[in-house]
Structure 1
């Protein structure tokens, strides 16, 4: 197993280095083959490790890599820890990454910078694997920052687009806010426990329950302080309410990046960290309550925003944000196994939805606005059925009494049941917010499907389709013309010229190449079967987790004993959301515009993402820019430059003018100066 673990972690790094060195010196197919092959090998090695934990044949293993650092009491090595929790993440990360690599062969075919793109993908995967195999907090932070760097590079891959650069910077800066909390949490943990070794910290954590720490005359629960700081880091990386604003803007990156970052890897790092440190959080009741509240609030916030968006990728991005909220409030009520199970199933159906959206965008010449879709199910049938499987999974279609259902049915319903079974006020709050979010999830998911695959073709109004008809070939997505939206209408207020509209009726969307369809087929199997196959293992088997997380067995028993209305709540609201979407986008397509007009301020509030971006712009961005200008103009230019280099230059300049006047070239002038100097010297000596 040790050799397999070494290969799983370091093959992506090797591939990234090779891809970066080769770059454009050789055909791009070489870089693509090296990076994709390395990820498929890592994936093939990860599944046997995971299945060995499922069967109970494996135990936790630590593989030493090298001695890293020793400074006073701070000592830690680079070691790869593989237990049940890590095995789950290895499967998720390598599977999704390998399929994204393969998918990118078709999606990025026209891009001139494919070697750089594939090298970035492999670098991101290596950083994520470093994070999930960390045996100490410093190593975890190393991987944590690595995925932050790689995500910056991938989101801003099309760096010639100002919007892509801005999105990359936004993701980087917002994550730095969360990372500051994570750093302080690591510092505080070392201060309290005297070590950064995760096993040693988790073993000592229960003994710290009730301990307090003081500063500036105030005292607080030690574990609450540490866990809140650590959770702030998770909020940034997993885009929880308050530090979520970077996630939708990250859609500026290529669609495969959206699937990799927002489906199974970077955004789930925060959930993984909370579950990894679950014994610490169990000793911190306030921190657990905060995790529950923030998760539930994020769940409903993102769901409300998702119902109003028109960009197909942004709808799925807000869906990701909402599903992460489910995972966090599951962890907050103590059901870490349920949180990880939803992380596992979510990876399959969300990657499927993102890659399916990319296939739609590919078919529609990089058009992303759903108002320009319609009637695509007969044009791209394979993509349609794949996205249908993903939609059935995320909305939680299944029958409890028959024991059958898609992936989301098993994991999301379990989270709602366990929140109710917890019996606390925060648990009840999470249950009701989660149930309402399930209603909205069903609505916006079927809204996406109906707008995209049903109805009449609305392709003629799209500038991208017009470009395809009149130019006859695809261009890289970075050259897309800007999209102008109106929050209150079902169609854009931009009216194409008659010359553009002429002939667009002859455009026929095309199915994606085989390299893009294979990942869709594999992920569809995951969306259908992942929950069915692994629900008992993740939810009911304490031996499966074997101490990798805090397993609350009485809570799981209480979950199974919840009343039937609770068990069927998600199914009921799913059907209501489906019915509402069908009424609005199939039966009477005038209803959305009427509803938006009647709701007025509420609709605009949701459409504008609760005005978080505008609020942050006024509270943080503009004051920061103003303060920066003051430091620049008054401090740098007005003080440092004025009395420093510019002042010295002025003195030299004025001195040169005076010296030039003395240097007249006349002998009598020099004689006079010499005489005056002699008189001054004699006077000085006499006095």
Structure 2
């Protein structure tokens, strides 16, 4: 492996960020767009070359794909506890290089048309490059602290991109919300890192994940509340991952993050940033599996299952197409977490792990496509609301076909990509827990309903009286749609199990025909329900929502989770804890400081006469002092 070329993969977008950021006012839009696209294109070529070198040239060593590390010591605390900076190449890091580079390249190309005429065009491309650099650094990290550094850089990048329209109050609020919520989650991540580092003596992924090493074969016996310290550390790290991947109850930032430009939604909140949490659990999977019989992994599974169902139900009721896709992302991420949570470790027992990574890969393609198609539609009708759309297939044929392919893929209709990965997830879950399998099947049906609900609403439905006749997007926007549509239709045929497994040996995957028939039948049933309810405008939908009553209202209001957060924040944190802390700060802390200051002022007023400036006063003081010293000396001498 040529490590000098691999290191260039993140460094190129970093250089682009610095150039565009520092020369923002001096570079025109055409040049900045060209620089941005050229930079990520070069990183994409290097990413694919790295994948070819790793899987095709290096290949398996002693029956398993090797873990290759090139690093230098950055901070050295003890003989084993140190922080390195470098690159780690293994099957999932190579896979993520392909995902990040491919989606980022399509978004960069798409943005040249979508952001045309925007005042902050160059600034936008510099932020995109910063985000891409951060994601590359995250997936190549060799240890927990390095991944945490880039984890926070990804958070900063998302803050800048979500709040890109900084003159828009809702965008600023959404950026702050995303930043604050993920900061709480990242606090758990940091504490987990410190716990694991303290009790294991290392942050290195190689040492932490070695099944035959001292850490996993004899993990720390120290315990708290009946669980080992390492289990608590893994749970805290999962909290960080749950925040980034918008798992319940840390999901509230994701729908609001749609305030950013639509290409941002495709890049950050559909394909790359939000899967960082899934990648984090996968990166530490041996620890999650072996420590305390995988107790932390069970938490991952149940949180993932609940998040998948919770988000799918909400997605059925939203009218903003980008918010529907946002909740869809949360639901699909729940699928990935669920698959990780039920996975074994060796060979085909690692089906859950493999299927999670497989779904991450396929989801990146069709969800990015869905968001870019949504951006194309919004670009044409100047609205995010379903009520303002209808019959757009007549005006936007490329967008229509691309959206349909992505919808079929996410619904799990064969032979599109989502079918292959989702089927593997359902098989893995069924083998582990039939209750969770039932949730997975239900979510599959709901997915087909909500995605075809917006498909029919946008491209069929009632013909709207548009102020300006909608038209297809320019080629700079439709080209990425075509590429992603082809990928959404074909990447499912990749023999993923041959490359990705927990023990890096790979295994021969196959389709479980009975399970596949059930999954496809449920998806087709959901599609049929959407066809009946939404292909044409009818009163059935309003009658159905009336019958559902409170349940529909709660789902439409996102089960009032945001309101609950606001209540807790304002009435408990602000009025309770914060108010008491503020009183203590004003009256005790500030009062003590003010007392010291005021006492100094009073004392200075009392003694300021000693510095009168008159010579006779100083002479009197000198003589008096001399006399007193003489008396004291005589007294001590005689006694």
TM-score (norm 2): 0.88
Q: What residue in structure 1 maps to residue 104 of structure 2? A: 97
Q: What residue in structure 1 maps to residue 391 of structure 2? A: 375
Per the TM alignment, residue 124 of structure 1 is displaced from its structure 2 partner at its CA by: 0.7
Determine the C-alpha separation between the residues in 2 that align with 1:459 and 1:657: 85
Change (3 A) 1:327 1:509: same
Say whether residues 1:319 and 2:335 are aligned partners.
no
Q: How does 1:480-499 map to 2 (within 5 A)?
A: none
Q: What residue in structure 1 maps to residue 370 of structure 2? A: 353
Per the alignment, in what secondary structure is the counterpart of residue 210 of structure 2? helix
Provide the aligned C-alpha RMSD in A: 3.1
Per the alignment, in what secondary structure is the counterpart of residue 458 of structure 1? coil
Per the TM alignment, residue 652 of structure 1 is displaced from its structure 2 partner at its CA by: 4.8
* 1:599-639 C-alpha deviation (Å, 9 max, x unpaired): 11000111111211111222234422224752575234344
Determine the C-alpha separation between the residues in 2 that align with 1:546 and 1:215: 31
Bigger drift between 154-163 and 579-588 goes to 579-588
Q: What residue in structure 1 maps to residue 62 of structure 2? A: none
Say whether residues 1:442 and 2:448 are aligned partners.
yes
Determine the C-alpha separation between the residues in 1 that align with 2:407 and 2:160: 30
Per the TM alignment, residue 644 of structure 1 is displaced from its structure 2 partner at its CA by: 3.0
Q: What residue in structure 2 maps to residue 333 of structure 1? A: 342
Q: What residue in structure 2 maps to residue 139 of structure 1? A: 146
CA contact 2:301–2:338 (8 Å) conserved in 1: yes
Determine the C-alpha separation between the residues in 1 that align with 2:501 and 2:49: 18
Bigger drift between 192-201 and 438-447 goes to 192-201
Q: 1:128 aligns with which of 135, 140, 164?
A: 135
Determine the C-alpha separation between the residues in 1 that align with 2:217 and 2:564: 38
Say whether residues 1:187 and 2:203 are aligned partners.
no
Count of residues in Structure 1 that have an aligned counterpart in Structure 2:
612
Per the alignment, in what secondary structure is the counterpart of residue 135 of structure 1? coil
Per the alignment, in what secondary structure is the counterpart of residue 172 of structure 1? helix
Per the alignment, in what secondary structure is the counterpart of residue 141 of structure 2? coil
Determine the C-alpha separation between the residues in 2 that align with 1:413 and 1:158: 40
Determine the C-alpha separation between the residues in 1 that align with 2:221 and 2:33: 53
Q: What residue in structure 1 maps to residue 424 of structure 2? A: 414
Q: What residue in structure 2 maps to residue 392 of structure 1? A: 408
Q: What residue in structure 1 maps to residue 348 of structure 2? A: none
Determine the C-alpha separation between the residues in 1 that align with 2:217 and 2:434: 25
Q: What residue in structure 2 maps to residue 7 of structure 1? A: 8
Change (3 A) 1:25 1:646: farther
* 1:386-410 C-alpha deviation (Å, 9 max, x unpaired): 1111111111111xxxxxx000010
Q: How does 1:421-440 map to 2 (within 5 A)?
A: 421-422=431-432, 427-440=433-446
Q: What residue in structure 2 maps to residue 301 of structure 1? A: 310
Say whether residues 1:538 and 2:538 are aligned partners.
no
Q: How does 1:459-470 map to 2 (within 5 A)?
A: 459=465
Q: What residue in structure 2 maps to residue 508 of structure 1? A: 469
Per the TM alignment, residue 587 of structure 1 is displaced from its structure 2 partner at its CA by: 4.5
Determine the C-alpha separation between the residues in 1 that align with 2:274 and 2:580: 36
Determine the C-alpha separation between the residues in 2 that align with 1:61 and 1:257: 32
Q: How does 1:103-118 map to 2 (within 5 A)?
A: 103-118=110-125
Q: 2:534 aligns with which of 580, 585, 593?
A: 585
Change (3 A) 1:596 1:38: same
Determine the C-alpha separation between the residues in 2 that align with 1:36 and 1:315: 29
Q: What residue in structure 2 maps to residue 525 of structure 1? A: 486
Per the TM alignment, residue 214 of structure 1 is displaced from its structure 2 partner at its CA by: 3.5
CA contact 1:292–1:329 (8 Å) conserved in 2: yes
Bigger drift between 50-59 and 518-527 goes to 50-59
CA contact 1:83–1:548 (8 Å) conserved in 2: no
Q: How does 1:262-301 map to 2 (within 5 A)?
A: 262-284=269-291, 285-301=294-310
Per the TM alignment, residue 248 of structure 1 is displaced from its structure 2 partner at its CA by: 0.7
Q: What residue in structure 2 maps to residue 149 of structure 1? A: 156
Per the alignment, in what secondary structure is the counterpart of residue 81 of structure 1? strand
Per the alignment, in what secondary structure is the counterpart of residue 576 of structure 1? helix
CA contact 1:374–1:458 (8 Å) conserved in 2: yes
Determine the C-alpha separation between the residues in 2 that align with 1:157 and 1:588: 36
Bigger drift between 71-80 and 309-318 goes to 71-80
Q: Which runs of 5+ in 2 are unaligned?
A: 60-64, 344-351, 632-639
CA contact 2:390–2:458 (8 Å) conserved in 1: yes
Determine the C-alpha separation between the residues in 1 that align with 2:525 and 2:244: 33
TM-score (norm 1): 0.82
Q: What residue in structure 2 maps to residue 72 of structure 1? A: 78
CA contact 2:3–2:70 (8 Å) conserved in 1: no
CA contact 2:460–2:536 (8 Å) conserved in 1: no
Determine the C-alpha separation between the residues in 1 that align with 2:212 and 2:388: 55
Change (3 A) 1:594 1:210: farther
Per the TM alignment, residue 3 of structure 1 is displaced from its structure 2 partner at its CA by: 2.9
Bigger drift between 239-248 and 227-236 goes to 227-236
Q: What residue in structure 1 maps to residue 562 of structure 2? A: 613
Per the alignment, in what secondary structure is the counterpart of residue 241 of structure 1? coil
Q: Which runs of 5+ in 1 are unaligned?
A: 399-404, 461-503, 664-670
Q: What residue in structure 2 maps to residue 178 of structure 1? A: 185
